[in-house]
Structure 1
Amino acid sequence: MNSPTTRARESILSKIRKSIADEASDNARRSAVVNRISAKPRVAAPQRVAAPDTDLIERFKDELRRQLATVIEAAAAAEISPALAEYLRTNNQPLRVRHGADAYLSLLDFQTTPGFEILKGRAAPDDSAGLSLAFAGIAETGTMALTSGADNPVTLGYLPDTHIIVVPRSRILATYEDAFELLRRERGSQPMPRTLNLITGPSRTADIGGRIVIGAHGPRRLLAIIAGDL
């Protein structure tokens, strides 16, 4: 049996519906919503990535640097480990990195760098650097899209002071809509990831006194490695 509260609410909502439209227009609006969702219309892309002569890789790099990230390009997988080691040394960080179960990251050869310690799994409180593989790069804002899961645990991008993200060169796209479309297409009938993290630069906030503070809610440093042979 409906409670008095439920009946009162239904009565109020019924009066509102009657006052703003009849059933026919309700059905028309419902159909319009269904059609729009099915059609997946695209809005106009920003001019900085929509122009025919736009170099998406360069735009992606420029936007990343504008957000205080460091960018390194690696033509082959063998170049990633030495570049990563040099970056850590330059920033006075230990040669110690943790990554998830991602197949590509697991094949990287860190043994060529003496003393490089590799850990696997979710981030621990004492981890200094996390390594992830981006699902896609988004050139319009220099953003990297990371899907959650055992391959790339979300904690790797929040707990360590340094976050390193490998971005496949072939998956640097113009817009957010391009990335969402690619995710839907590749997932097909499979469930979507629990979260899709959009990372643009190191963590920062201006909540206190209007002053920018780096590393307030996550990494103080962000390194993007654009890889060419995935």
Structure 2
Amino acid sequence: MTLVILFQDEHLVAVNKPAGLLVHRTNLAKDEEDAVVQRLRDQTGKWVFPVHRLDRGTSGVLVMAFSPEVARRLSAQFAESKTKKTYHCLVRGYCDDYGVINYPLAKLNEQKGRSRFKIEGTEREAETSFTRLSQYLLPVPVSRYDSMRLSWLEVTPKQGRKHQIRRHFKHHLNPLVGDSCYGCRHINKVAKEIWSDDFRLMLHASSLEFNHPITNQPITLKADFSDKIINILNKLEYYRTD
């Protein structure tokens, strides 16, 4: 399937990555032929080099470079928190109107086995800000509760630690809907039953702001929500409580 290109020049290309697609093959998924890197190489006719990452289940803005040097320059902006990343996510429970989760995170390394990620090294600073856009109360039993509370959030992570948003909201006791690693199995079970065709990790990289690594011009990229996210949000409108 052709990727939706949000921006392209001689140095960079940005796409709206669909959920379920790897950015590139990994040691644990090297037999998979399909990934953003391979699709973009075929689509643009050029080699592309990853600048940052999005989890497999996450959709949204993803930037790649056409040379290692450009990739290195732009990656430095991410490493130094000079970019602005905005996400949207659906979480369990009611959240405050706005807040900041300031909780250090240790490095995660991918590994084989039942526990897919191994925590290694010392904890590093990690900060995630959020604004609640809406909240919902569904008359659907979940575990020992007779209803399901959800919040739709706009989220801005200051850094880009692996699984930062997903780990932070688990720590905040508001795990993401559809998160098989850090989520609530009771919420996920019910959500999969009521939104069977649209069920997915409810996390989307909506926009990204950075300076062009060659021209230094400010660039803002925005990615539309997928049909599955729109379908779920439309169904949730009936149950808004704010």
TM range (shorter): under 0.3
Normalising by structure 2, report the TM-score.
0.24
Greater fraction of residues in helix: 1
Normalising by structure 1, report the TM-score.
0.25
Larger radius of gyration: 1
